[in-house]
Amino acid sequence: MMAVLRRVASLKLTLAGMVLLAVGAGLSYGNPATMPVWVLVVPMALLALNLLAAIVSNTRINRRPGLLVFHLGLLGVVVLAAVGRLTHFEAHVELLQGTALSAAQLFDRREGPFHPDGLSGVDFVQGPFTVEYFPGIVRGATRSTVVLTDENGNRETRTIGDDTPLVLDGYRFYTTFNKGFAPVLTWIPDQGEQVTGAVHMPSYPLFDFRQDNTWTPPGGPQVKLWLSLETGLKEKEYWVLDGSKAHSTLVLNLGDRRFELKVGESLRLPGGVVRYERLSTWMGYKIFFDPTLKWMFIVAMVGVCGMGAHFWRCFGARFGDNPGGASAGEGQSVQSLEGRAA
C-alpha cells in the first residue's frame, strides 16, 4: 500500500498535473462559453490526489506539525478551487429603474455543472443611481440604490457600487461601467390592449454620440429611435451622471419621415399610437457566485500559519544554536534536527 502511495506522490506526476493545469488555464482564458470546467477540474483533482499521497507517505511532511498543516492547507485550497469551478455562477444583467430582477434578463451566463440554482429566490428592485466623473470623463464612484423586501413586507434600501456588492443568498451583484438611459413607451394599438415597455439605449456616456436603437411595436412597423439628451456633461469638468436631472427628446424615423416627441407627447403610427411616457435609466450588473471563496481564504491562512510555525521552529533552533557564539549543547540540538530532516 505504501509503495502505491509513493508512486502516486511522485514528483513526475506533480509536474504532469501542473502542465495539464497550465494548459487548462490557457484554454479557459477569457472564460469562453464553450470550454468545459473539466479542463481545470481534472488537473486539480490529479494534483490533490498527488498531494494527499505525499502527505500520507512522506514522513518529512507528516511528522512535522507545521509542515503538515501547510500541506493540508495547500490540499484544501486545491480541493476548494475545484469545487468552486464546479459550482460557480457568473452572468450579467441590465435592470431598468423600478423593475425587479428576473432570471429571464440574464445574459453572458456561465455556470458549473453542479451549480445549486438559487437565483430564483433572489429579489430586489432597481432604484435610481448616480455616477461621478472627473475631468476627462474618468469614472469615479457609482452609487446605485436597490430596494429589498423581506417575507413580512418590510422594505430595506441599500446603496451598492463597483466595490460594495449586494450579497443575497451567496450571489454578489457588482455595478459595472455599463449603464444608460431608456425611453419608456406605451403602445396603444388600433385593436387589442395597450402595452408599456422601455427601449435600452447604448451605454452612456461611453456612446453619448450614438444613443439609437430600433423598436417594433406589436403589430406595428419597425421604427428607428434616437435619443437627444441634455445631461450637463462637460468633458473637462467634474460631473455627476444623474438620470433624474436629464432631459430628452425622442426622435422617431419611419422610412424617410422624421418625428420628435417630448415626454408626454404621442404620435400616430401605422397600426396604433405611441406615447413617450418618461425618460428612465438602466444599470448593468455583474453577478458572481462561488461558495468556496470564504473557506478558501480561511484554509489558505491556516496553511500560511503552518508554514510560519515550521520556519519559526527551524530558524528558532538555528538562531538558538548560534546567537553570537555557538554553545556545545545548542549545536548538538541543531545537528540532531538536521539529522532527522535528512
Q: Is residue 206 very low, low, confident or very high in pLDDT (cuts 50, 70, 90)?
A: very high
Span 120-148, average pLDDT:
94
Q: Is residue 316 very low, low, confident or very high in pLDDT (cuts 50, 70, 90)?
A: confident
> What is the per-residue pLDDT for 333?
41
> Locate cell 451567496: which residue?
170
> What is the per-residue pLDDT for 52?
94
Span 39-57, average pLDDT:
93
Q: Is residue 301 very low, low, confident or very high in pLDDT (cuts 50, 70, 90)?
A: very high
Count of CB atoms within 10 A of residue 190's CB? 11
Count of CB atoms within 10 A of residue 182's CB? 21
Q: Dihedral of the CA atoms 83, 87, 90, 91 (nearest 10)? A: 170
**Stronger pLDDT, 318 or 91, i.e. the higher one:** 91
Q: Is residue 328 very low, low, confident or very high in pLDDT (cuts 50, 70, 90)?
A: very low
Q: Is residue 129 very low, low, confident or very high in pLDDT (cuts 50, 70, 90)?
A: very high
For 300, the grid coordinates are: 489558505
Planar angle of CA 320, 324, 308, nearest 5 degrees: 35
- CA–CA dist 187, 73 (Å, integer): 61
The rounded mean pLDDT for the chain is: 89
Helix, strand, coil shares, percent, the chain, to 5? 35, 35, 30
- CA–CA dist 241, 229 (Å, integer): 12
Q: Is residue 337 very low, low, confident or very high in pLDDT (cuts 50, 70, 90)?
A: very low
Span 81-107, average pLDDT:
93
| Alpha helices by DSSP H, 180-327 | 293-321
Peptide bond into 270 cis (omega under 30): no
> What is the per-residue pLDDT for 82?
95
Sort 107 into a burial class: Cβ within 10 Å, 0-12 / 13-18 / 19+. Answer: exposed
> What is the per-residue pLDDT for 320?
62
> What is the per-residue pLDDT for 332?
42
**Stronger pLDDT, 334 or 313, i.e. the higher one:** 313
> What is the per-residue pLDDT for 9?
87
Span 169-192, average pLDDT:
94
Span 277-300, average pLDDT:
95
Structural element, H or E, at residue 311: helix 293-321
Span 306-333, average pLDDT:
63
Planar angle of CA 50, 116, 102, nearest 5 degrees: 140
Q: Is residue 318 very low, low, confident or very high in pLDDT (cuts 50, 70, 90)?
A: low
Give the bridge partners for 250, in sequence order: 227, 261
pTM higher than 0.75: yes
